[in-house]
Amino acid sequence: MRKIFNNISKIWNKFKSSSDEFWDELEEQLILSDVSMKTTDRILESVKNSSYEKNIKDLEGIKGLLKAEIIEILGGGAFGGLQVSIDPPTVYLVVGVNGVGKTSAVAKMASMYKKQGKKIILAAADTYRSAAVEQLAHFADMLDIDIVNHQRNADPGAVVYDSLEKAIAKNADMVIIDTAGRMQTSYNLMEELKKIKRVVSKRLGRGPDEVLLAIDSTTGQNASSQAEIFSEAMDISGIILTKTDGTSRGGIVLTIKNDLGVPVKIVTNGEKLESIYYFDPVKFTDMIFS
């Protein structure tokens, strides 16, 4: 896995003492890694306080305090996977602004779960662009997985309804729904996504098991405002952090969790179908200090 907190290691090498200069540099590197001001403040306050209270002033000690605080923000522990319904099909709804990597992530998830022996139905609910349906159909073909797709401009709710019907008829384990990233207005998009959720609730008697917001890790701080806008429209259960092969600023993971309370659950790190893994807070934190 590529290191996503590149700059931090620089300050370890320069460390002489826990001086103001050191704290300032730590602050700067956190911000450069896309950790928000609010989260940076929380981290620095906690680490500085513990350092004074426990009289820890050496580099290894300070690293330990920092590590503990980051794991605390991320909610600790290793992460075991997405919610699975005891009453199949499990439904994953993937949302996000255009170009962040939703359709690719849907294909990667399908590939991952197929390898685990799961029977999957893909729902091509991005009917706004005709190329979108073709793109997902191409992946479905490659993976030899069933897909439900209607004509361009068809009602995405109808696509989702049909995919649930198909999943039930075929005893499928899982429905993964790809959605549009752009419509005439952001309002239209949010209304459409809410409608998709309602269709799932109506047909299955419960909402999607996960509503996953895809965020492009190369976006920087703007990712937070995307997360905020989607969170206002619907409950986001987790983030799919995409394109981590193209950045060394992984701090957005901390920002989104600390500022918005939404955990990163899945990471993609390349264009290949197998470039996907579950986010692991402990591994992520270890990476910062390696």
- 217 vs 258 by CB, closer to ligand GTP: 217
Residue 285 lies near ligand GTP (rule: CB under 6 A): no
Binding-site partner at residue 98 among Mg ion, ligand GTP, none, CB < 5 to 8 Å by type: ligand GTP
Residue 250 lies near ligand GTP (rule: CB under 6 A): no
30: CB partners within 8 A, 6+ apart:
8, 39, 40, 43, 44, 251
Shortest separation between residue 101's beta carbon and ligand GTP, angstroms: 3
Residue 275 lies near ligand GTP (rule: CB under 6 A): yes
Q: How far apart are CA 157 and CA 197, in angstroms?
A: 9
Binding-site partner at residue 100 among ligand GTP, Mg ion, none, CB < 5 to 8 Å by type: ligand GTP
Residue 103 lies near Mg ion (rule: CB under 5 A): yes
- What is the footprint of ligand GTP within residues 114-143 (CB under 6 A)? 126, 132
Residues in the chain: 290
CB-based closest residue to ligand GTP? 181
Options 88, 207, 263, 270; binder of ligand GTP; rule CB under 6 A: 270
Among 162, 164, 194, 165, which residue's Cα sits nearest to residue 179?
194
DSSP sequence for 58-115: SHHHHHHHHHHHHHHHHTSS--------SSSPEEEEEE-STTSSHHHHHHHHHHHHHH
Q: How many residues bind ligand GTP (CB under 6 A)?
A: 21
Shortest separation between residue 189's beta carbon and Mg ion, angstroms: 13
DSSP sequence for 126-191: --SSHHHHHHHHHHHHHHT-EEE---TT--HHHHHHHHHHHHHHTT-SEEEEE--S--SSHHHHHH
Cβ atoms of 142 and 90 within 8 Å: the answer is: no
Shortest separation between residue 134's beta carbon and Mg ion, angstroms: 11
Shortest separation between residue 268's beta carbon and ligand GTP, angstroms: 4
Contacts with ligand GTP by CB under 6 A lie at 96, 98-104, 126, 132, 181, 214, 242-243, 245-246, 268-271, 275
